[in-house]
Structure 1
């Protein structure tokens, strides 16, 4: 007889979070507030600075979106009518094109591919980029074969040519050179895709996207299932160039001039994609610098490597512009959007593909049952309408609220510089990084920090003592992430600052009892 299992979903995770008071049931939500079920059954209001990991820019249950969704259901809107006309999906992509053209001052169209989550959107970009790379390989192979055929048909068979580029004698026979070219190119064109991502980056936890996520714990158990990425340090332009130079693969061509044939080096199309987040979310809320963004753009063009800009967390207006990358001048070949584009009510992603790279044949080899459904795309269209209303008024609100939040956080840091070492971010995507707590006086904090768990203790303290909901970032556990909605108030920001001051004071004093008192007296 087997023993009864208490929880069949995330039991281990829930037991771990229970130790620091994060095992809370939330029963209601509106705006920037969630209501926790209190021990007496009442709802306890909590300011939500986690924001659904960035998916709630407009807040919980935005009334206009709730009404829109209710109306869709009341009208018996068809949800799953695959292979039919989908006007809402088309409207979403057309609006995204208008926004992109405005923010980047370009006019090239981008095609849209829908999926169900951010990680799936990344996989769409990877699949399309590899599909495109395969066709570029085929095109180069055919072009070289045509050039070789032209050389041989021009009567050069039996003649000699300089084969030193291939390590052959200067007077090598053309036939010998051609054979060596074919051997070398067969190996070059069989080279697997080169994927480049950034240290600290996070792009999902699916089979392909997981190998682009820098966190070793997320990647290593599944490394055998997908192509591996090479990671370059963020914000180090020369290091990124070195990665590209090291990964390049040479193919060889035979070109005919008026007087002779010569062997020419060419870069084989081995680069599938370079993935970047304008602001690294899970890596500790680290914005890319404009200098690094420029290098990304230049290297992508130089090496024929498409740039995939992951705007899953930073996009859809959170940083004060629709695309955070627009503030960096980083124009991508692909953009992946998710999270806030669903307004907190729908789950979807949109991958935008630049027309110059788009392969229409991709539509015949990629599909998804639930992508581009009638409800999610209609909600996304309504979200974009809200964001664009009033000449983009909500972008300005996000920028202003972000400045207010950042100023409050910097004030706390100035008071406790030995505890908080950095405050950084863009708009309503901010991070608070704690320094080395081994000298703080708190034995408990130092121990938990060494285990990568301090951020969760801090989250539990702020939740129960100050009614503030937040978490540390997934791959930088010393950094608290702050992603509130545009509805965040001055009172909530001030309450957050008060809570952080109280936390820092306890750490400075080494008051472990004060840090954990909430566990015994918690009300929810």
Structure 2
């Protein structure tokens, strides 16, 4: 590394530290270019991206189909607001609805906006369709959840980093242990309008519920006339080996919440997807977004839908995920305590006596692999689905080497 390159990194880091709010604690890597599963920093060093922007880059950096769709739209039309129609929105809405097997789409921008939108829709449905008394609607959520960081969403978070000092909190939520169907059933009453859960809890460390849990949620919500809202913002769009993780367990929720990969790593795109019997409760003027459904986002989103229609990416994620899981399982007892995975998405619990997740992530970065820690001793692995098998093997090799170094230190 030249002194000039090193000073460039230091300059960028100092600039971000001085002028940026300190709401993140990123690894000291300054990325300048990226393609496929690889990124290059300002010093010219290459890294295998095993985080994929928390699954926003399921199709890799700079996917030609997605970039071409964005470039073509940039020359035509980028924004009208929803005061008018645009010629990309209709095709995108139809394409996404068909992909999800639903009738209607509410387009937004970020994942948190999709969650907030679903909360509003569920409450309106509760009052207008179910007949819940005004201002009494409740939504059942799960402990350990992560649905975003807006004030309403952190009101039902039990993560102190996300919640502390941001009250007063929004009422109307009842939290139960994740994976406990009996507790969920007991929490549902006549005022319950929805159950909002992640089919897999991503930020919690890729926590997968017990077999039969999601099916039980579907049965309970159907029996009690309650909406089942599945937050598939991280787990959806190919990541777990299916278009939606709910498909892996044969469950169809009332509403899908989508985001991250829906924008192809190019623009923020999110959506609430459901049938007209639910989304149809919204009336003009009750909810909206200046940028939601903008032509550029719709063009990219439609291209993402096109990539998923064949099922090739879903099958690739399943096959590569099985390969990754086999390699990771071999590390259990050798610095790894537990591995949880679904498709090409894994949570790896590092032995806390050996190192923190942050320390492992830092050592991986030194070896050219980008991953991120969560909840102390867990690291998450979610490489783009375009990663090659030998690249995936190499990444696990680096993890194995890091663990060996730590054990011998």
Fold shared per TM-score above 0.5: yes
Cα shift at 1:296: 0.6
- Measure, in 2, the Cα distance between the counterparts of 1:408 and 1:490: 12
5 Å-filtered alignment, 1:442-461, equals 445=355, 454-461=356-363
Cα shift at 1:37: 1.9
5 Å-filtered alignment, 1:82-481, equals 82-101=82-101, 109-136=102-129, 139=131, 189=133, 192-244=136-188, 248=189, 267=190, 270-388=191-309, 391-413=310-332, 416=334, 419-437=335-353, 440=354, 445=355, 454-464=356-366, 466-473=367-374, 476-481=375-380
Query: Which stretch shows the higher mean deviation, 116-125 or 496-505?
Result: 496-505
- Measure, in 2, the Cα distance between the counterparts of 1:345 and 1:289: 35
- Measure, in 2, the Cα distance between the counterparts of 1:44 and 1:10: 27
Cα shift at 1:421: 1.5
Aligned CA distance change for structure 1 residues 78 and 501 (closer, same or farther; 3 Å): closer
1:298 aligns to what SS in structure 2?
helix
Query: Which stretch shows the higher mean deviation, 496-505 or 374-383?
Result: 496-505
5 Å-filtered alignment, 1:478-489, equals 478-489=377-388
Cα shift at 1:379: 0.6
- Measure, in 2, the Cα distance between the counterparts of 1:5 and 1:290: 44
Partner deviation per Cα, 1:195-232 (whole Å, 9 max, x = no partner): 21112211000122222333133123224142253221
User: 2:9 aligns to what?
Assistant: none
Any unmatched runs of 5+ in structure 2?
1-14
Aligned CA distance change for structure 1 residues 280 and 11 (closer, same or farther; 3 Å): closer
Matched, 1:57 2:50: no
- Measure, in 1, the Cα distance between the counterparts of 2:32 and 2:160: 35
- Measure, in 1, the Cα distance between the counterparts of 2:24 and 2:277: 45
Structure 1 contact 430–481 (Cα < 8 Å) conserved: yes
Query: Which stretch shows the higher mean deviation, 25-34 or 299-308?
Result: 299-308
Q: Work out which of the residue numbers 24, 27, 46 in structure 1 matches 2:29.
A: 24
Structure 2 contact 81–291 (Cα < 8 Å) conserved: no
- Measure, in 2, the Cα distance between the counterparts of 1:11 and 1:277: 27
Aligned CA distance change for structure 1 residues 421 and 80 (closer, same or farther; 3 Å): same
Query: Which stretch shows the higher mean deviation, 230-239 or 216-225?
Result: 216-225
- Measure, in 1, the Cα distance between the counterparts of 2:270 and 2:392: 30
1:412 aligns to what SS in structure 2?
coil
Cα shift at 1:323: 0.9
Cα shift at 1:433: 1.1
Aligned length: 395
Aligned CA distance change for structure 1 residues 236 and 360 (closer, same or farther; 3 Å): closer
Partner deviation per Cα, 1:278-309 (whole Å, 9 max, x = no partner): 11100110123341112111221232221110
Matched, 1:35 2:46: no
User: 1:255 aligns to what?
Assistant: none
Matched, 1:10 2:11: no
- Measure, in 2, the Cα distance between the counterparts of 1:499 and 1:229: 43
Aligned CA distance change for structure 1 residues 430 and 363 (closer, same or farther; 3 Å): farther
Structure 1 contact 36–44 (Cα < 8 Å) conserved: yes
Query: With structure 1 as the length reference, what TM-score do the two structures score?
Result: 0.71
Aligned CA distance change for structure 1 residues 361 and 196 (closer, same or farther; 3 Å): closer
Radius of gyration: which is bigger?
A: 1
Structure 2 contact 87–295 (Cα < 8 Å) conserved: no
Query: With structure 2 as the length reference, what TM-score do the two structures score?
Result: 0.90
- Measure, in 2, the Cα distance between the counterparts of 1:329 and 1:6: 46
Cα shift at 1:12: 7.1
Cα RMSD for the two superposed structures: 2.2
Cα shift at 1:376: 0.5
Runs of 4+ in 1 over 4 A off after TM superposition: 11-14
Any unmatched runs of 5+ in structure 1?
102-108, 141-188, 249-266, 446-453, 512-524
Structure 2 contact 121–281 (Cα < 8 Å) conserved: no
Structure 1 contact 272–306 (Cα < 8 Å) conserved: yes
User: 1:158 aligns to what?
Assistant: none
Aligned CA distance change for structure 1 residues 230 and 93 (closer, same or farther; 3 Å): same
Partner deviation per Cα, 1:75-106 (whole Å, 9 max, x = no partner): x32422432223422222322232233xxxxx
1:60 aligns to what SS in structure 2?
coil
- Measure, in 2, the Cα distance between the counterparts of 1:303 and 1:223: 32
- Measure, in 2, the Cα distance between the counterparts of 1:457 and 1:44: 20
- Measure, in 2, the Cα distance between the counterparts of 1:5 and 1:207: 25
Aligned CA distance change for structure 1 residues 51 and 239 (closer, same or farther; 3 Å): same
User: 2:4 aligns to what?
Assistant: none
- Measure, in 2, the Cα distance between the counterparts of 1:27 and 1:316: 26
